[in-house]
Structure 1
Amino acid sequence: MPWSVRFRWSAALAAVALLMADLPAWASSLAAWRVSRSGQLELRTSIDVRPQAFFEAGTGFRGPRVWVDLPGAPSRTRTVRGSGALREVRIGRPDSFTTRLVLEFAPGTQLDPSGLRLVGTSRDRWRMELPGLGNQAGLGLGEGDLDAVASFGADQQTFFPTAATPLSADGLPVVPRGRFKVVIDPGHGGPDPGAVGIGGLRETDVVLDVCLQIARLLQARGVQVLMTRTSEVDVDLPPRVALANSSGADLFVSVHANALSMARPDVNGIETFFFEGAGSPSRRLAAALQEQMVAISPGSPDRGVRTGRFFVIRRTVMPSALVEMGFVTGELDSRRLADANFRRRMALALSAGILNALQGQQ
């Protein structure tokens, strides 16, 4: 299932649901929320939570409502008063297993459900654009710390430990904040681990870790990030493309790790694919990504930038590239890809390549 979810609706009620993680009934998974002045609902949740989002059209003297249900009930219910377009925000407890965040809008407020998407931007972050509501009175409400760093407990972390060096966007190229949108596509996932290499190194674990870090780095530079998956779930190729094509994104980057026979540990190297012609924006994106990856991987062969017919770069409508960060079956590459600090450097490298490509679009 794609991580960007369009609302389906009738005249009275619209609803869309994502699968919810199993959490204790007493543990609310909502850590922080904000309705920003730019017209976005932002959520910080427990790791790998799957919210349910709903829309109800206004009738008569009642305005439209948007609400999000999350697993785990809140310790207390409450109402935060707004003004103007946003009448109030309520934190409710519809049952002993659920936290409900309700945005109640004033009568006459126009919300097009076809433009509403609840988007998972990382394992503990969600965002919904509220088209047409930017800079209106009543916005700017919130509770909790949206910028807090998630704690990955032993039962929640991905396959790898956290890098020893903290993740920081300092030194990355700068682009205008709020101007660009990028789709990051961690390859494979769920029952499809992708390639499995030396020491049981799985492609899905490598790419998800790197992509989550890329998302945080780009967000720190003011880039809106959509991810085709943020945890170990199975997402087919067409939904990944559909998410990208419906998002209005400026770039699409699919992240993978290569493989060959386990009998060929001598084969290592980094390569990037694009679909369009030699002078195309996709070719320039691929070159920017390849340059940065090679720079932080001394000794790993530069296998170059080349054309490819992979579905996700052939069917996307924006400049697109697919990167292979190295071989999980390669003696040199696999050791690096299994190292948390190298994956951090790879995330920084790919973020720099993306930001350089975005600078070229200004």
Structure 2
Amino acid sequence: MRATGSRRLLLIRLLVAALVPLGSLAMALPAWAGSALSAWRINREGALELRTSPNSSAQAFFEEGRGGVGPRVWVDLPGAPQRTRTIPGSGVVRQVRVGRPNASTTRLVVEFQPGTRLDPRGLKLLGTSRDRWRMDFGAVAAGLAPLGEGDLEAPSAPSWRATVPERAVLPSGPVPSAASLPDVPRGRYKVVIDPGHGGPDPGAVGIGGLRETDVVLDVSLQVAQLLQAKGIQVLLTRTSEVDVDLPPRVALANNSRSDAFLSIHANALSMARPDVNGIETFYFESARSRNLAQAVQEQMLAISPGSPDRGARPGRFFVIRRTVMPAALAEMGFVTGQLDSPRLADPAFRRRMAVAIATGILNYFLQNP
């Protein structure tokens, strides 16, 4: 999602893909201590590259320049560096700073010269493997000079995997079918289902390389089929691994005059926090949106015993804030969670989740005719 104001969240978490080796530009590695950041560089192609601990989370931000200060891009990673420092830049890069905004975070800041123009719409931090990241700076790349710290070419370390309990992980019993869903008047309702992320944006990547985009597309397609079987007209914002920006998703929904909109996602936190699990659903302001979120939240919890109830609560995500019909955004569990992740990876559980979400939508229509 995107933040408001001059700061825009440009987070795209780890994408598992082959890394194309580049000539090393690294200097001697400073002491990073407990930081997830192991090395960084601005390469000859004008892109920022990072090497991190395997399966680390990362957040990237952009801030426009003002008051004689150039624009900045920064990346926050888990773990604090042993020392902070400023590295002089060259060309359009004024300087690079390694900071410690709090006791558990490393912040790498690339500050550009005043007057440099960056297009935040093209700035994406992409995971190119489980411990490598890349951000292309676009049109300003020609003015960038090589700069960096650490060994970007070091071999990848073994990935961390959570210890998953052998018992009581996956719900048992028969998988429900479309026949078990409640009935609503056929042909009366229209729904937009929005599978989050897609294409080069995998969303969150969790335990064992479980990708959010794979989970949500599978569940969303099944939800659509289940609703169609009940006489609901369904529109999907995507049906394959393609990148769809947020405004087109909203435009499709608003132009369709749908009766409800549901965006489907999977949550994530640091890979160092497998203890964090849970299901939550967001809505924006209206009573009908709240009712939709509550109906879906109730059903998702019912098929995921032991997963914490994080509630149906207000949120300001773009796709639910800009849609004109009742809208909600469902987070089916944490791909980084020790309890949730193996469930979300299981096809039978995904089917249960699809039935649950479809049931929640149908219950909403029954309760809000």
Shorter-chain TM-score tier: 0.5 to 0.7
Q: Distance in 1 between matches of 2:278 and 2:368?
A: 29
Letter of the structure 2 residue corresponding to residue 243 of structure 1: L
Q: Among 241, 257, 264, which residue is 1:248 paired with?
A: 257
Quote the residue 1:281 is aligned against: 288
Q: Distance in 1 between matches of 2:203 and 2:276?
A: 18
Quote the residue 2:276 is aligned against: 267
Contact kept in structure 1, 2:282 and 2:315, CA below 8 Å: yes
1:225 and 2:216 aligned: no
Quote the residue 2:333 is aligned against: 326
Q: Distance in 1 between matches of 2:174 and 2:367?
A: 30
1:296 and 2:298 aligned: no
1:209 and 2:218 aligned: yes
Contact kept in structure 2, 1:274 and 1:286, CA below 8 Å: yes
TM-score (norm 1): 0.53
Contact kept in structure 2, 1:165 and 1:341, CA below 8 Å: no
Decide which structure has the larger Cα Rg and report it: 2
Quote the residue 1:350 is aligned against: 357
Measured at CA, do residues 166 and 305 of structure 1 come closer, stay the same or move farther in structure 2, by a change above 3 Å?
Answer: closer
Q: Distance in 2 between matches of 1:167 and 1:283?
A: 26
Cα shift at 1:221: 0.1
Q: Distance in 1 between matches of 2:285 and 2:364?
A: 16
Quote the residue 1:73 is aligned against: none
Cα shift at 1:168: 2.9
Quote the residue 1:340 is aligned against: 347
Q: Distance in 2 between matches of 1:174 and 1:227?
A: 21
Q: Distance in 2 between matches of 1:332 and 1:215?
A: 26
Q: Distance in 1 between matches of 2:349 and 2:289?
A: 26
Q: Among 301, 310, 313, which residue is 2:317 paired with?
A: 310
Letter of the structure 2 residue corresponding to residue 231 of structure 1: S
Structural mapping, 1:74-223, within 5 Å: 168-223=177-232
- Gap regions ≥5 residues in structure 2: 1-172
Cα shift at 1:358: 1.1
Q: Distance in 2 between matches of 1:338 and 1:176?
A: 34
Percentage of pairs with the same residue:
77
Structural mapping, 1:31-46, within 5 Å: none
Measured at CA, do residues 302 and 167 of structure 1 come closer, stay the same or move farther in structure 2, by a change above 3 Å?
Answer: closer
Deviations 1:222-274 (Å, cap 9, x if unpaired)?
00000000000000000000000000100000000000000000000000000
Q: Distance in 1 between matches of 2:357 and 2:302?
A: 11
Measured at CA, do residues 239 and 250 of structure 1 come closer, stay the same or move farther in structure 2, by a change above 3 Å?
Answer: same
Contact kept in structure 2, 1:256 and 1:325, CA below 8 Å: yes
Letter of the structure 1 residue corresponding to residue 241 of structure 2: E
Q: Distance in 2 between matches of 1:336 and 1:235?
A: 27
Contact kept in structure 1, 2:264 and 2:330, CA below 8 Å: yes
Deviations 1:208-229 (Å, cap 9, x if unpaired)?
0000000000000000000000
Q: Among 353, 364, 367, which residue is 1:360 paired with?
A: 367
Deviations 1:11-39 (Å, cap 9, x if unpaired)?
xxxxxxxxxxxxxxxxxxxxxxxxxxxxx
Segments of 4+ moved more than 4 angstroms: 164-167
Measured at CA, do residues 196 and 225 of structure 1 come closer, stay the same or move farther in structure 2, by a change above 3 Å?
Answer: same
Q: Distance in 1 between matches of 2:251 and 2:176?
A: 31
Cα shift at 1:166: 7.6
Deviations 1:161-214 (Å, cap 9, x if unpaired)?
xxx978731110110000100000000000000000000000000000000000
Q: Distance in 2 between matches of 1:270 and 1:166?
A: 20
Q: Among 235, 246, 268, which residue is 1:237 paired with?
A: 246
- Give the RMSD, CA atoms, in angstroms: 1.3
- Gap regions ≥5 residues in structure 1: 1-163
